[in-house]
């Protein structure tokens, strides 16, 4: 038997054992109410956790948009300062050049 066939056989045996155990527990008259209650509790927990995560995701998306707006505004201000600085530097260069010539 080659390695791939052996692995398939092992995976099949493990899957069969898990499925058989789950079916046995669900069909057992003594265990079924406990298992069903746990499944319902787990489902409720997952729903609640999903709602909380969804809400937090929405808040994070809103905050991200606010931060992006602030960054865009900051970049615009920085560009304006750069342009004003370049204009002022050119003015100073012109005045120095005029002073040297006089």
C-alpha 53/C-alpha 44 separation (Å) is 14
- pTM (2 decimals)? 0.48
Give me the residue spans of the domains in the chain: 1-30, 32-101
Q: Which two tokens stand for residue 61?
A: 């998306």
- DSSP assignment of 40-73: HHHHHHHHHHHHHHHHHHHHHHHHHHHHHHHHHH
Task: Report, as an integer, the average pLDDT of 83-93.
Answer: 92
Per-residue pLDDT tens for 42-71?
999 999 999 999 999 999 999 999 999 999
Give me the pLDDT at residue 74, please.
95
Task: Report, as an integer, the average pLDDT of 26-54.
Answer: 85
Which candidate, 14, 52, 68, 83, places its Cα nearest to that of 44?
52
Give me the pLDDT at residue 1, please.
61
């Amino acid at each position: 038997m080659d390695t791939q066939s052996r692995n398939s056989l092992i995976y099949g045996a493990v899957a069969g054992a898990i499925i058989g155990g789950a079916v046995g527990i669900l069909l057992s008259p003594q265990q079924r109410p406990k298992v069903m209650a746990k499944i319902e509790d787990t489902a409720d927990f997952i729903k609640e956790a999903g709602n909380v995560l969804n809400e937090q995701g929405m808040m994070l998306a809103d905050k991200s948009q606010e931060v992006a707006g602030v960054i865009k505004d900051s970049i615009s201000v920085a560009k304006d300062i750069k342009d004003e600085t370049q204009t002022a530097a050119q003015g100073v260069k012109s005045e120095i050049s005029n002073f040297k010539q006089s």
